[in-house]
Structure 1
Amino acid sequence: MSWVANARMYAVTADASAAWAELFAWVARKSGVALETIEHHTSQPMTALWTRADLGAAFMCGRPWTRAEPKPVPIACPVPAPSRYEGAPRYMTDIVVRADSPFRTLEDTFGHRIGYTLEESQSGFNALRHHLLRYRSASRPALYAESVGPLHTPRGVVAALLSGAVDVGPLDSYAFDLMRTAPDDPAHRLRVVATTVPAPIPFFVASPSCPQDVVVALREGFLAAGNEPELADLRDRLLLRGFHTVVEPAYDLLRAWDAEAVAAKYGMPR
């Protein structure tokens, strides 16, 4: 049987997209699993990908994974190479504004318009809301004049910021780092005013019906990719140190953040 692979969440530039396809091809050869890279356009919901019966490897955010039933099977998670990740399979949310905006701190953006990606997103919704909780009070339950969304993807946030549709928005830090590897990328026209605390990073998953021997072979293939000398350039292009096994209990943190917001009766990040 042939299995499909997709890296849409982090295929945020043309080169990153090509590099992920090259990595999938290498993992297919290494594992002996027939793995076909497919497109999944940003107009299509990610759930349509995550629920495919022939899914072999696709990035899935931890928040929808904790809510899924049945859950897709964890394969491996990336370990980003930049120093701020400290060699761990984690990421943050960069809260960003236009580089030419007058805002210098997160507090400066209060009273303006904030964007978000999707309610199911960890980086584009849950982490942002959790970070903002500390600034709310009984006298100031709403920090922003308007909450704008869903903007669907990090690219949607970039576009909304640069068009002036929003004044501040959240970006998955690893996606943002990858965008800025391209010298002429629009993401260079943005500036970070705050960064959330780290959370466990999205990971590759397979269909719940994927046989265990295929899952094991794919996992071993991704883990081997982190040490293979011939992939050094590919890892550089993807800002990757390598891959790590998925520690499922680590994602309980995302449920805890959600519960804090619910307890505080904080719905949209506003």
Structure 2
Amino acid sequence: MSLIANARMYAVDAATAANWTALFARIAETAGVPLTVIPHAAPAPLEDLWRRDDLGLAFICGYPFARGGFPVRLVAAPVPASGDGRPLYASHLVVRADSDIATLVDSFGRRLGWTVAHSQSGFNALRTHLLPHWQARGRLYAKSIGPLLTPRRVIDALLAEEIDLGPLDSYFHDLLLAAEPDTASRLRIVETTAPRPMPLLVASDGLGEALVARLQAALLAAHQDEEGRAILARLGLSGFAAVEPQGYRVLVEEADAADSAGYRQPG
């Protein structure tokens, strides 16, 4: 049976999507597990992808993974080359480069954008970062605009002056810097949230341990030869890491803390 693969979360542009296809082809060959890359572009819900029973490799955000409810099995997490060698990322809080907003506090009273409630980088990391300010001040923004669904839509909304500040997945930003430096130059980072576990590649739970182990082994070894390193470099990665489900519990705990405080939507 041919399984499907998808990297929509980090397909910043067509060239980056082609690099993910090349990586998945290499993993399929190494693991001996056929993978067919399929399109699943926004606004198609990512939840539909995570529920498929033929899922070989696809990204899921750590928060919905830790919250549960999707029949997936953890495979591995990417390690950004820009980091410290661990599978961690954060959310950059970004504004237009020419904005008069110099600090996060300067953005209060303006328009805030966010992606979707099941997103760690585009929603929950933002809530967690803003929670102390909200507890001290009450309502922070004149408008809270979402769901914008994707990091790309956050960028578009910023550049179209529909919002004044929004969250941007730090690894997505790495890819944007490489793929579209002109677009990246039109954005400016005001603050960055605390590092948290990266989104991870998962497979359908029904695949069984043996197939998942082969996929995981291929991912963990992807950096061990010149061709693999070249593909990873084009994707801004140093490799992949084995991770444990309990490492993602912090994301649920932080979201629950914001809910318990009554801060259910960034704003």
Written as runs of structure 1 = structure 2, the 5 A alignment for 1:146-165 is: 146-165=143-162
Provide the C-alpha distance between the structure 2 equivalents of 1:228 and 1:78, rounded to a whole number of angstroms: 17
Provide the C-alpha distance between the structure 1 equivalents of 2:95 and 2:226, rounded to a whole number of angstroms: 38
**Matched-pair contact (CA < 8 Å) for 1:158–1:187:** no
Written as runs of structure 1 = structure 2, the 5 A alignment for 1:185-264 is: 185-264=182-261
Greater CA drift, 239-248 or 180-189:
180-189
Structure 2 residue identity aligned to 1:263 = S
Residue 108 of structure 2, aligned match among 100, 107, 110: 110
Mind listing any 5+ residue stretches in structure 1 that lack a counterpart?
none
SS at 2:40 equivalent: coil
Among the aligned pairs, what percent are the same residue?
Answer: 48
Residue 131 of structure 2, aligned match among 126, 130, 133: 133
**Superposed CA offset, 1:183-226 (max 9, x none):** 45523210000000000000000111112211111001111102
SS at 1:233 equivalent: helix
Shift of 1:70: 4.5
SS at 1:25 equivalent: helix
Alignment partner of 1:96 is 2:94: yes
With normalisation by structure 1, the TM-score equals 0.96
Provide the C-alpha distance between the structure 1 equivalents of 2:215 and 2:194, rounded to a whole number of angstroms: 30
Shift of 1:176: 1.0
Provide the C-alpha distance between the structure 1 equivalents of 2:186 and 2:207, rounded to a whole number of angstroms: 42
**Superposed CA offset, 1:105-137 (max 9, x none):** 111000000000001100000000000012123
Provide the C-alpha distance between the structure 2 equivalents of 1:188 and 1:64, rounded to a whole number of angstroms: 31
Mind listing any 5+ residue stretches in structure 2 that lack a counterpart?
none
Alignment partner of 1:34 is 2:31: no
Structure 2 residue identity aligned to 1:182 = A
**Matched-pair contact (CA < 8 Å) for 1:50–1:72:** yes
Aligned position for 1:11: 11
**Matched-pair contact (CA < 8 Å) for 1:24–1:35:** yes
With normalisation by structure 2, the TM-score equals 0.97
Aligned position for 2:75: 75
Greater CA drift, 177-186 or 159-168:
177-186
**Matched-pair contact (CA < 8 Å) for 1:81–1:241:** yes
Shift of 1:250: 0.9
Provide the C-alpha distance between the structure 1 equivalents of 2:158 and 2:216, rounded to a whole number of angstroms: 38
**Matched-pair contact (CA < 8 Å) for 2:222–2:229:** no
**Matched-pair contact (CA < 8 Å) for 1:11–1:20:** yes
Aligned position for 1:177: 174
**Matched-pair contact (CA < 8 Å) for 1:227–1:242:** no
Provide the C-alpha distance between the structure 2 equivalents of 1:7 and 1:71, rounded to a whole number of angstroms: 18
Alignment partner of 1:267 is 2:264: yes
Shift of 1:141: 1.2
Structure 2 residue identity aligned to 1:6 = N
**Superposed CA offset, 1:56-86 (max 9, x none):** 000000111122324410011000001xx21
Structure 1 residue identity aligned to 2:229 = A
Aligned position for 1:25: 25
Aligned position for 1:65: 65
**Matched-pair contact (CA < 8 Å) for 1:65–1:71:** no
